[in-house]
Structure 1
Amino acid sequence: MFSKRDLRRLLIPLIVEQFLAVLVGMVDVVMVAGVGEAAVSGVSLVDAINLLLIQLLGAMATGGAVVAGQYLGCKNEERACRAANQLLLVTTVISAAIMVIALVGNRVILSVIFGKIDADVMADASLYFYITSLSFPFLAMYNSCAALYRAMGNSKVSMKTSLVMNGINIAGNAIGVYVLRVGVAGVAVPTLISRMVAAVIMLVIIRNEKNQVHVDKHLRLGYEPDMIRQILRIGIPSGMESSMFQLGKIMVQSLVSSLGTVAIAGFAVATNLASIEYLPGQAIGLGLVTVASQCVGAKEFGQVKEYTKKLVLLDYSILIGIIVVIDLLHKPIIGIYNLSPEAAAIAAGLIVFHGFAMLFWPPAFIVPNALRAASDVTFTMVIAVASMWLFRICLAYLMVKVFHTGVIGIWIAMSVDWIFRFVVFLWRMISGKWIRHGSDERLKRKTV
């Protein structure tokens, strides 16, 4: 169903967009590092919470994209457009509610999650959290529209919008931190403005009726409970999985915060650099949702397996090159962050270890996207959540608190989590047990 040319048109913009997103994150950390380690720590802690909410909203958007993609696969464009309307409605309402909770609960949320942290770190974290919370509804709109374009096999639109968004963010960071010298606010406000601009751009162009999938031109989204339930049937388990995954990372971040500011800073920089290694796989996983959902809609289940295999191997081919480059250049790169010698040593050890662990990552996190695209969301959620709590969290606390391994013990636990997922999700795909979830009778060629 998808030629090599189709896959290139889908995947290359996605990879570029993912690299842009992480590049901006790295620039943020580098710029804030000029303010001090307390600022780096505060932004790092809040970003862990923000990422939880971003992944929740992203999972909801993916739920809508899967439904729309399945309808496109069975040539039912009218229902695909109705799914688009309901996706935009659901994500906007949910994100607005999350924003209100974050604004009202600000310091309470930070204190509950991270416990007692230094006063200067808390002050920076609180301000950054307050400002970035205002951007959640705009981010939800952008993510939803981008997911719908991906469902059509068109990822170039979101890439171009991302270029604009990230350009605004970087320029704003430079002005806020180096010209106005307003600390973390100089990073947070540009994030808010850039997401607002991106949301408006995507909302305008997704209304174009020439698109296979579009929302109502006048934004008369309506309310269709059956369609919303269909989206939530995929979005809620995926959202719970993503949220629990990020919640586990936050709990681990809380564990890191108990080791002191030096450990927090070293871990933050290592995490920032390691995120580059995830980029190809994250982009390929997003592309696989489009490919697999349309194959499922057309009942081409054999092609789902073939495309999954091809895309996992593609990620490995890119990933190995990235790991080699980062491992060779990690010391001069870490030097850019202006860390203390102790924090720099922690970051260096973590990044080298992470490169070896990443060899288990592609099947553990790309294959589940194919399963979700076939509506096999409950299995992926149960396995992911169980693995997270058993290995990523419990084992991490055991390594740090009992065996006193320091921050490296956290990534040892993470590696065990990846190995478990690697084995189970590969077995699920090969077994074919997921196919029964993709045989939904509501996916009909005629409009219903």
Structure 2
Amino acid sequence: MDTKKRITLFALTWPIFIEILLHMLMGNADTLMLSQYSDRSVAAVGVANQILSLIIVMFGFIATGTAILVAQHLGAKEHVISGEIALVSLITNLAFGVLLSALLLLTGKGILDIMGLPRELMDEASGYLRIVGGFIFIQALIMTAGAILRSYGYTKDAMYITIGMNILNVAGNYLFIFGPFGFPVLGVEGVAISTIASRFIGLVVSIIVIMKRIPSALPLNRLRHIPVRHMKSLLKIGIPSAGEQLSYNGSQMVITYFIVSIGTYALTTKVYAQNLMMFIFLFSVAISQGTQIMIGHMIGARQYEDAYARCLKSLKIAIIISLCMAGIVSIAAEPLLGIFTSNEEIISSAKVLIYLTLLLEPGRSFNLVVINALRAAGDVKFPVYLGIASMWGVGVPLSYLLGITLELGLVGVWISFIADEWLRGLLMLRRWRARTWIHKGFVRNEKAV
């Protein structure tokens, strides 16, 4: 990658933004189209996706390690090693993905039982989980291939692939939910089939693009000679990096269990509100991923002061944009929620949650940008330790205290989200400013392995 020519935050971030937006639209398309079918189906798929999100995080530890290591080695102009790491990561996530797919097929319904899912939602939720979960290894490979493309600077290619996947997914949803041209109306099952088909086609295209754009990224002829240290490096960065996100998704599953006890309406309200919130924080997600790539290259090139300044500048941009977007969505909350449902009780409750987002999203921006910067710099353990302490020591117990014990419902849960995000975010910023990460970076890690 020609760093001087191609690596700017805007050049990296806008395709990432479009890609993430389209991924979110894919989930929202499922929700929106299913809402025309049944609110109950929306709740069922929402709970199933909570479990799938936790599994996808498990794949993320390889994808995250891939993105960071490939970027660092490219920054150090070590292209052969970058390619070897890319190949190892694809093979590893394939094996891991097949294993987790098998586990979901065997235990998916039992997990839904443990979560206390209402009986009326069980058939649809378990059917969706069986189909999408059984082929979840495809998502593992898509995540890894996307990380490779973005680290090499081909963020536009990843974006175009996502566009194609979205078009296929929406088309499939339409055919199986509404049944035109004599297609069977399959509801939730049809949405699951459409999801898997679009992901598979996206994976095939991703591999073709990598082989065409970056032949050195898949050195199959060197497979037997790739050093074991590449796997150790992936695990050393990837496992702690995924730990923070794994903890987050695990805590969200527990909080979803609390919400299930409130009732199906509360669960549906949460799904609709969070669908809108995704459009607010996706700007911060895109900025954080672009920043991670840039800082990875800077660390590889030993440009530590540039990396320090880049994180702080990106953080300011993310906070300003997230506040503006939260304001816009809050103003338009009622008509936006009306797209998903006509139920006045759900709309009224979800509006309050959207207003609280004005406090939530700036705190989330701290976590997204600074945590990714710390990971790119090699400081991967601190975010995990702090994340676990805050999510399980503040987020989960506070959501139960406010939401269940004090009977504030979803408002209490959202207040717990705000407290957790701001606490972690400010402590992460303090860590970055302390510059401890300079002593944990690329050169030292490579000597260690």
Compute the TM-score of the two structures, normalised by the length of structure 2: 0.94
Match of 2:14 in 1: 12
Contact 1:215–1:221 (8 Å) recurs in 2? no
Contact 1:132–1:192 (8 Å) recurs in 2? yes
Match of 2:392 in 1: 389
Match of 1:192 in 2: 196
Deviation at residue 350 of structure 1 after TM alignment? 0.8
**Structure 2: how far apart are the matches of 1:434 and 1:131?**
42
Change (3 A) 1:218 1:253: farther
Secondary structure of 1:167's counterpart equals helix
Match of 1:95 in 2: 97
Q: 2:211 aligns with which of 187, 198, 207?
A: 207
Counterpart code for 1:15: F
**Structure 2: how far apart are the matches of 1:331 and 1:311?**
31
Match of 2:153 in 1: 153
**Structure 1: how far apart are the matches of 2:36 and 2:72?**
48
Counterpart code for 1:352: Y
1:371 aligns with 2:378: no
**Structure 2: how far apart are the matches of 1:164 and 1:50?**
22
Counterpart code for 1:413: S
1:278 aligns with 2:303: no
1:142 aligns with 2:142: yes
**Structure 1: how far apart are the matches of 2:251 and 2:377?**
26
Q: C-alpha offsets along residues 323-354 of structure 1, whole Å, 9 cap, x if unaligned? A: 12211111011112124222221111111111
Number of residue pairs matched by the alignment: 442
**Structure 2: how far apart are the matches of 1:243 and 1:43?**
20
Deviation at residue 212 of structure 1 after TM alignment? 7.6
Contact 2:84–2:226 (8 Å) recurs in 1? no
Match of 1:420 in 2: 423
Q: C-alpha offsets along residues 251-280 of structure 1, whole Å, 9 cap, x if unaligned? A: 111111110111111111001111111101
Gaps of at least 5 residues in structure 2 are none
Contact 2:61–2:235 (8 Å) recurs in 1? no
Match of 1:121 in 2: 121
Deviation at residue 85 of structure 1 after TM alignment? 1.1
Counterpart code for 2:248: F
Counterpart code for 1:168: L
**Structure 2: how far apart are the matches of 1:196 and 1:4?**
30
Range moving further from structure 2, 349-358 or 336-345:
336-345
Secondary structure of 2:267's counterpart equals helix
Secondary structure of 2:41's counterpart equals helix
Q: 1:298 aligns with which of 301, 304, 324?
A: 301
Deviation at residue 100 of structure 1 after TM alignment? 0.4
Secondary structure of 2:219's counterpart equals coil
1:31 aligns with 2:33: yes
**Structure 2: how far apart are the matches of 1:4 and 1:91?**
29
Counterpart code for 2:419: V
Change (3 A) 1:206 1:5: closer
Counterpart code for 2:229: D
Match of 2:42 in 1: 40
**Structure 2: how far apart are the matches of 1:270 and 1:441?**
44
Deviation at residue 292 of structure 1 after TM alignment? 0.9
Q: 1:346 aligns with which of 321, 336, 349?
A: 349
Structure number having the greater helix percentage? 2
Deviation at residue 217 of structure 1 after TM alignment? 5.1
Change (3 A) 1:223 1:131: farther
**Structure 2: how far apart are the matches of 1:401 and 1:231?**
41
Change (3 A) 1:368 1:2: farther
Q: Equivalences for 1:211-290 in 2 at 5 Å?
A: 211=214, 214-216=217-219, 220=223, 224-290=227-293
Match of 1:403 in 2: 406
1:182 aligns with 2:186: yes
Counterpart code for 2:306: Q
Q: C-alpha offsets along residues 114-170 of structure 1, whole Å, 9 cap, x if unaligned? A: 12x322211110011011113311111111111011111221111000011111011
Q: C-alpha offsets along residues 269-309 of structure 1, whole Å, 9 cap, x if unaligned? A: 00111111110111111112211111111111111111112
Change (3 A) 1:213 1:290: farther
Deviation at residue 319 of structure 1 after TM alignment? 1.9
**Percent of aligned pairs with the same amino acid:** 26
Q: Equivalences for 1:297-316 in 2 at 5 Å?
A: 297-316=300-319
Q: C-alpha offsets along residues 186-205 of structure 1, whole Å, 9 cap, x if unaligned? A: 21111000110111111122
Secondary structure of 1:258's counterpart equals helix
Aligned CA-pair RMSD: 1.9
Range moving further from structure 2, 28-37 or 164-173:
28-37
